[in-house]
Structure 1
Amino acid sequence: MLANVSEKSYAAEARYTNFYAGNDIAWSENGEHFYCLNGAVVNQVDVQTSQIVCSFGVSGSSENDSGNKRKSNGLDDVEIDEDNIYCFAISREHLITAHGSGLLRLWELNTQKLVKLWKAQHKGPVVRIEFSTCGKLICTSGGADATLRLWDFANNSCLCALKDFPGPALLLRFHPSPLKREIYAVGSDNTIYCWNYDTKTLLHKMRGHISQVTGLSFQSAAKDCNQLVTVSRDKVLIVWELELESSTWNQLKVIPLYEELEGVTHLADGAQLLVACGNGKLLQIDTKTFKIRDLLIKTDFEISRLLYCCLKQQLGLVTTEQNILIYDVTADPKETEVELCKQLVGNNDEILDMCFLGDNDRYLAVATNSKHFKLYDTEQNMNCKLIAGHTDTVMSLAASHSLLISVGKDCSIHLWKLSHTEACHLQPLTQQSNCHTSTIGSVAFTHNGATGFASACQDGSMKVWQLSRDKREENSYSFALRYAALAHDKEVNCVTYALNNKILATASQDKTAKIWAAEANNLLGVLRGHTRGVWCVRFSPVDQVVLTSSSDCSLRIWSIANFSCLKRLEQECTILRAEFLDHGKFILSAASDGLLKLWNIKTNICVQSIDEHTDRVWSLAVSTGSNRFFYTGGADSKLIRFGDVTETVRNEVLDQRQEMLQQEQTLQSLLHAQEQLEKAFRLALTLDKPKASYDIICHFVRKRDSSTVRQLVDQLNIDQRLALLKHVKAWGTNSRHSLVANLVLQHLLGDALNSPQKLYNSGNLVEVLTPYVQRHFKRVSELNKDLAFMEFIVKCM
């Protein structure tokens, strides 16, 4: 046990997973939570911490359930299978989800319980669902029928079915005034239909758009509201006015905006309009003069939805990459200003690379199969900033204190600097395009002060760059090519510098790793031995060795002096990344099956296996300052923080050992004094002491006190009975103990037969009964022989 105490141990401290996969998203009225659709669940996400508070849905209703079949929290007698959610809607008190099976499920927001479940009665799945303003009615639109159904869920009834329009309705809105019994729906012909659902009559048909209508906003929530605005992907905004005399909606103003429009909302008591364009622009329009003003002009984000929280006066823009940008809105009747205050990452896709930067490794830069990479503040609830600049996927990141380099598929190199005046912000310093002829797959900074960096390309080339800074201007940097080399015959997967910056290493799919002189284009040696492509190469921080990981499922440690292989460590599948830990004493490896392994270099033993990921682990980021924590990310989109729990584990093991010693001492004292034998018996079972438990049973057997033996067995729980069963198996192997073993086994088998909930593992019973059966079979066989001999004697006489 002491040997186990001294080993290194890490455990997951925090997990950051995807909470939004696109489609429906809603903002709570108080502005504290987002409700995001993610497959079979709707996640309630805290806006401040970006963490999932709870999940609504079949697979999210209970964390302790296992398997595909789960029981809902509210309806305990209904078993439900995992069922994807197509759409949802929220009110102040409830959340309604529409599932692929055609079921509608109503949840309480406060208790997260399922309170009602019924069939939607539509042909095909429900594609749009909406609560009424009062929150007591629900309107649904089916995907394969041209029908709207209105539900009174409190009375378990369908109030009406509205059929006079070409469905399905991809946009549903109730009139914001609860006194107005009207519902608006956009049909497949891009016409806006209005019904009075009390009288079930069609009131209006509003024709004007020629493409999908994406937004509808009323000027006010008053009953006499006579103006609404619609936007569409036909690049036109239409202002509609209700004429009281004819009770018809007419086009008051048609404004061409020359951009595909994705959302609209009224501000400042209806005096201003905010319109979100698909290309990321945000426009302000005065509802009286209809003057247009650009609020956000230059942006690299494509917008898919617009959300607005009146209580907090904040605007939410949802991007096509499932990121949420939150802006503080300063609105008045004349002018509106917006300021970015928060960014949430709803979906990371594959995490390709990551690195630390800043003082004490405060910030974590993460590349996620996107042209925008993320900058997380690890000390502020993982507050995130989306960094735009690349035109294609960012593949690799490298940092040196406050400087960061990003490279990717656009063949460009971008240099960034961490801002000291603004939290979680990167300043673009300089960039160069067409630095390589193909995707740049890896980049590495020099150590102990950034004086240069190296980049590796998928065409097999490597380039070494000189980095310089203008002494007169703090943020004036430039980099120039020092030399270029055709490093490998195939794709270069990794490049890295040694700690002294004098040599660097490359790893390639051509099954080799190479050592180069950093100052000149000079190949020092080739590391040959891997039978498949080499994914990663790392220099030891303390020894003159280099580490490589490969698709041949092995880690190899090589000598820099003679380039020979010193050690080989085997794993079950492709090892994608490897890093030195704890000042070169341990190796952390990440494999294609998602398994992390921690290796002791001295003993060549895997001291820990960590199974937290479900897919390939592409990246590792180890804190160089403390070496006490690291982050991992991979194809399962999970970003996980691991912390060093060696001291905690050591203390727990030592406490368990001390407690066990105390229990053993108590057991010996009780046996010696022949007191409290019931307590001693339970201690013997807990400590797994068959000899002690046998002596206690024998003590009562000698006194012919069978009732006490029966009472001892009856008072045991299931775990203690299983422990006693193991002891009986140990006793049964010796014929001298068979009497006691058979007596206890009789009580255990009787309980198993009379109480089904106390049945033991059949394998355990077989092992226990085998010596018993063998012994009695031998005894019966001997008796048969004696009986046959006696019959022979009798017949002879």
Structure 2
Amino acid sequence: MAEAIRCSYGSTSLEPFYVGSTLAVFSSENSLLATPIEEDVVVTDIESNTIVHKIEGDGETITALALTPDGSRLAVVSQSQQLRVYDTSDGSLVKQFRFSAPVYIAAADATSTLFAFGATDGVVTVWDIEAGYVTHSLKGHGTTICSLAFYGELHSSNWMLALGDTMGTCKVWNLVKRKCILTTNEHGGAVRGLAFLPDGEYFMTAGRDQIVVLYKLDNLKKSIKTYTVRHQVEKCGFLEVCGKLVFYTAGSECCLKLWDINSGTPLGGSKPPLQTSEELMIIDVAQIEDESLWLVLSDQTLVLLDLSLSENVDDHLIVPEVRKIAGNHGIIADIRYAGPNSTLVAMATNAPALRVIDPLVPFDVQLYEGHTDLLNCLDVSQDGLWILTGSKDNNAILWHYDADSEEFILHTTFHGHVGAVTACGLSRSSSKPTFALTASTDLTVKKWKIPKEAGSVVKGSDYTRRAHDKEINSMAIAPNDEFFATASFDKTAKVWNSDSGETVGILKGHKRGLWDVSFCQYDKLIATSSGDKTAKVWLLKDFSCTKTFEGHTNAVQRCQFMNKNTQLVTSGADGLVKVWDISEGECTVTLDNHNNRLWALDLKEDGLDLLSADADGFITFWVDNTEQLLLEREENEKLKVEQEQSLSNYINQNDWSNAFLLALTLEHLMRVYNVVKASIGANQDPELVVGLKALETTMQELQPTQLISLLKKIRDWNINFKQFEIAQKVLSVVLDFIDTESAEMRKAMDLIIPYNERHFQRLDDMLEETYILDYVINEMQSV
């Protein structure tokens, strides 16, 4: 039985919820997270993986956010210097205020009573959240405020606010006495870290000069300790880990570091990342309750540390990472279904780590380190348990899924190319791949044997072939492993013998460079896509082009066969996914849910599920609902037949009112006209213009959408000289019921008026002609 041509897909999306350099902010008493997306703000419940609110901005980029610990109020400051305070329970705007200078740092106190905002003119504004007004305006800094920290409780004697600026000055204000009780210039760079020990014993400052200064809170006149931490500090604080009081620093080197308070010696911390070309750093640390820390990384990744699981191994404290959340995935260069039963999604992005997500827990991400430069491509084995990645570090890495840990582990590194690996592929004939192929900017293709033991580094390939004259963008391996194909910017695709590495065919015909190549699983066909805005299907028998698909308005980035080789799916730089009927050469459906170039596309279940990802990190999951669409069409056709029969019955019974309403519902232009004409001809109520009281009442009680439909029909009748009279009669009935506030109704009326003016002019001319006729008759009678 032939497969039905797929022509309809439903979609769900995974959108970035954190874009921009502004800090993400957490509520410490619940699971709310507020993040900027350029000029807008998203409030997310990170426990349930749901977006609570999307708050539209004022058109200017967000510069500072603050969320109260209880999660009840959110402060948003934009480049327009406008403060907006929102109630997070319903997303409503509570208060607005305008600052005198841009604000780039904000904070809330522990009691959810106050906000503080640090401006570029050195002024710190303290805001009463409940009353909605400024309580303090703290001056004294001559430059941009870059850190804030509250201490104490509202109206207590030691209710304080610490401030740090970009020139290394730190001040502590007593908010009750409105007095500055500490001014220090011990830092040679921006003071980004400020922290009070909750019991009030210590106060600490830390900066980008790699210095931490410790004070006794009851005597702030002189520091008691100065430590060099040997990394740029963006955040600091006090913690109790494994029963020991320590202080932490976080910033460059992208890991949390723990230090002994008394000696300043390093005690351990979180796991440092692999050193790569990506210069990541921690830009903020948020403490949730007492046992958890959220690290905010510069690539908008959020990392949760669980202090309760910390271990002391040989006097080295290890704080484990228990969760990672991706605020956005950046530019997604390649994407594949992966994992057991293809339930996971693997991505190659503009970052060195392989990213794997579970669509059922969409915010969470697994990052697998191994490459030292950005990923360009990936491929997944038939069973989804093996992933091959290619990177700008000139290496390819094979990853294997470990069922016990439910994670991918590094199995083999292939080292041998002298340029970035731009395309890769795994053998397809068996679940476990037996060989791998890679292509590189060095214009060569290499075949590699896959070793049995994990942890190997393979430096010798089975063969190396010079493949193309320009960069190779894609590679595909035939289902039986007999052939593989490469697609290049040199406008050609080549088919190779997998065993010998010799060229067996060249596909020529595209006018620009090729982006993708794909084998058909059920027939000897191969597809290519190109920058010339077309995709082509070729015969493997003689390498001739059998079909060309035109429809994209920009380069076609990806192409794959689906639905038992009867259809082809493509994605393009125009942001569209198109599904084609190969035999007819026509597009059966265009899927539009992206605003940027679609670099990546994959499918599973032979096209029942599609997956597309664009250059903004926006991912769409498409599910085939053709069967549902066909059922709906069948039901609609059945209903239409029944309604047509009912309409005929009403007309036969001279039930003009119901016939009019049903004809209007069925959008029959002339049926509606004929029903009104028949009613006027029957003339049951001679005093009415439409000849029937029930019909006039029906017209006057039409819903707005029905009335708009009727006005459009009046417009069409009014154009025709033979039909304008009935059009005018119907218009006279409904004229008093037209809502002039409705844009659609005004538009419909605007199209009726010009022809009305023509009709009235014609009637005036005819009336004038009757006067002339009367005059001629009178003159003739006098003769």
Q: TM-score, normalised by structure 1?
A: 0.88
| Aligned mates of 1:303, 1:570 — CA distance in 2 | 46
What amino acid is aligned across from residue 394 of structure 2 in structure 1? C
> Secondary structure of the residue that 1:563 maps to in structure 2?
coil
- 2:143 aligned with 1:167, yes or no? yes
**For 1:575-625, what per-residue CA distance to the aligned partner results, in whole angstroms no more than 9, with x for missing partners?**
1111112222211111111111111112111111111111110011212x4
What amino acid is aligned across from residue 629 of structure 1 in structure 2? D
Aligned to 2:408: 426
How far apart are 1:708 and its partner, in Å? Answer: 4.5
How far apart are 1:355 and its partner, in Å? Answer: 1.6
Aligned to 1:273: 247
| Aligned mates of 1:233, 1:774 — CA distance in 2 | 79
**For 1:715-736, what per-residue CA distance to the aligned partner results, in whole angstroms no more than 9, with x for missing partners?**
1122212222343355557766
What amino acid is aligned across from residue 452 of structure 1 in structure 2? F
- 1:652-663 paired onto structure 2 within 5 Å: 652-663=632-643
How far apart are 1:549 and its partner, in Å? Answer: 0.9
- 2:74 aligned with 1:95, yes or no? yes
What amino acid is aligned across from residue 321 of structure 1 in structure 2? D
Aligned to 1:78: none
User: Contact 2:657–2:694 at 8 Å: present in 1 too?
Assistant: no
- 2:730 aligned with 1:744, yes or no? yes
User: Contact 2:232–2:251 at 8 Å: present in 1 too?
Assistant: yes
User: Contact 1:176–1:218 at 8 Å: present in 2 too?
Assistant: no
1:112 pairs with one of 78, 91, 96: 91
- 1:709-788 paired onto structure 2 within 5 Å: 709-729=695-715, 731-732=717-718, 737-749=723-735, 751-752=737-738, 755-757=739-741, 764-765=748-749, 787-788=771-772
> Secondary structure of the residue that 1:210 maps to in structure 2?
coil
Going from structure 1 to structure 2, the CA distance change for 1:11 and 1:209 (only over 3 Å counts) comes to: same
Please list every run of 5 or more consecutive structure 1 residues that lacks an aligned counterpart in the other structure: 59-80
Going from structure 1 to structure 2, the CA distance change for 1:667 and 1:790 (only over 3 Å counts) comes to: closer
2:113 pairs with one of 136, 148, 165: 136
- 2:672 aligned with 1:689, yes or no? no
User: Contact 2:164–2:192 at 8 Å: present in 1 too?
Assistant: no
- 2:252 aligned with 1:253, yes or no? no
What amino acid is aligned across from residue 458 of structure 1 in structure 2? T
How far apart are 1:353 and its partner, in Å? Answer: 0.6
- More off after superposition, 174-183 vs 782-791: 782-791
Aligned to 2:216: 241
Going from structure 1 to structure 2, the CA distance change for 1:288 and 1:332 (only over 3 Å counts) comes to: farther
> Secondary structure of the residue that 1:727 maps to in structure 2?
helix
How far apart are 1:371 and its partner, in Å? Answer: 1.2
> Secondary structure of the residue that 1:83 maps to in structure 2?
coil
User: Contact 2:310–2:319 at 8 Å: present in 1 too?
Assistant: no
Aligned to 2:574: 593
How far apart are 1:215 and its partner, in Å? Answer: 1.6
> Secondary structure of the residue that 2:607 maps to in structure 1?
coil
How far apart are 1:541 and its partner, in Å? Answer: 1.4
1:609 pairs with one of 576, 583, 590: 590
Aligned to 1:64: none
Going from structure 1 to structure 2, the CA distance change for 1:468 and 1:6 (only over 3 Å counts) comes to: closer
Aligned to 1:543: 523
Aligned to 1:219: 197
| Aligned mates of 2:542, 2:713 — CA distance in 1 | 58
Aligned to 1:293: 267
2:388 pairs with one of 400, 405, 408: 405
Going from structure 1 to structure 2, the CA distance change for 1:47 and 1:20 (only over 3 Å counts) comes to: farther
What RMSD in Å do the two structures reach over aligned CA positions? Answer: 2.9
Going from structure 1 to structure 2, the CA distance change for 1:266 and 1:360 (only over 3 Å counts) comes to: same
How far apart are 1:185 and its partner, in Å? Answer: 0.5
1:319 pairs with one of 274, 287, 297: 297
How far apart are 1:741 and its partner, in Å? Answer: 2.7
How far apart are 1:286 and its partner, in Å? Answer: 3.7
How far apart are 1:197 and its partner, in Å? Answer: 2.7
How far apart are 1:283 and its partner, in Å? Answer: 2.5
User: Contact 1:465–1:479 at 8 Å: present in 2 too?
Assistant: no
Aligned to 1:485: 465
> Secondary structure of the residue that 1:651 maps to in structure 2?
helix
Going from structure 1 to structure 2, the CA distance change for 1:626 and 1:541 (only over 3 Å counts) comes to: closer
- How many residue pairs match? The answer is 754
Aligned to 2:554: 573
User: Contact 1:239–1:254 at 8 Å: present in 2 too?
Assistant: yes
User: Contact 1:459–1:492 at 8 Å: present in 2 too?
Assistant: no
How far apart are 1:352 and its partner, in Å? Answer: 0.3
| Aligned mates of 1:312, 1:580 — CA distance in 2 | 53
How far apart are 1:141 and its partner, in Å? Answer: 2.2
User: Contact 2:202–2:214 at 8 Å: present in 1 too?
Assistant: yes
User: Contact 2:6–2:624 at 8 Å: present in 1 too?
Assistant: no
Going from structure 1 to structure 2, the CA distance change for 1:788 and 1:313 (only over 3 Å counts) comes to: same
**For 1:168-200, what per-residue CA distance to the aligned partner results, in whole angstroms no more than 9, with x for missing partners?**
211111213332232111133312201223332
- 1:359-508 paired onto structure 2 within 5 Å: 359-381=340-362, 383-400=364-381, 401=383, 402-423=385-406, 425-433=407-415, 435-449=416-430, 450-469=433-452, 480-508=460-488
- 2:177 aligned with 1:199, yes or no? yes
How far apart are 1:519 and its partner, in Å? Answer: 1.0
Going from structure 1 to structure 2, the CA distance change for 1:99 and 1:46 (only over 3 Å counts) comes to: same
How far apart are 1:777 and its partner, in Å? Answer: 5.8
| Aligned mates of 1:734, 1:142 — CA distance in 2 | 69
| Aligned mates of 2:15, 2:290 — CA distance in 1 | 26
| Aligned mates of 1:352, 1:345 — CA distance in 2 | 16
How far apart are 1:293 and its partner, in Å? Answer: 1.2
> Secondary structure of the residue that 2:351 maps to in structure 1?
coil
| Aligned mates of 1:794, 1:198 — CA distance in 2 | 107
- 2:338 aligned with 1:357, yes or no? yes
Aligned to 1:75: none
Q: TM-score, normalised by structure 2?
A: 0.89
What amino acid is aligned across from residue 634 of structure 1 in structure 2? D
Aligned to 1:341: 322
What amino acid is aligned across from residue 461 of structure 1 in structure 2? T
What amino acid is aligned across from residue 234 of structure 2 in structure 1? E
Q: Between the two proteins, what is the percent identity of the paired residues? A: 22
Aligned to 1:71: none
Aligned to 1:45: 44
What amino acid is aligned across from residue 20 of structure 2 in structure 1? A
| Aligned mates of 1:305, 1:457 — CA distance in 2 | 35
- 2:163 aligned with 1:185, yes or no? yes
Going from structure 1 to structure 2, the CA distance change for 1:346 and 1:576 (only over 3 Å counts) comes to: same
| Aligned mates of 2:107, 2:17 — CA distance in 1 | 25
> Secondary structure of the residue that 2:217 maps to in structure 1?
strand
What amino acid is aligned across from residue 666 of structure 1 in structure 2? S
| Aligned mates of 2:125, 2:455 — CA distance in 1 | 62
**For 1:532-590, what per-residue CA distance to the aligned partner results, in whole angstroms no more than 9, with x for missing partners?**
11111111111212111111111111111111111111122211111112222211111
- More off after superposition, 604-613 vs 644-653: 644-653
| Aligned mates of 1:540, 1:561 — CA distance in 2 | 13
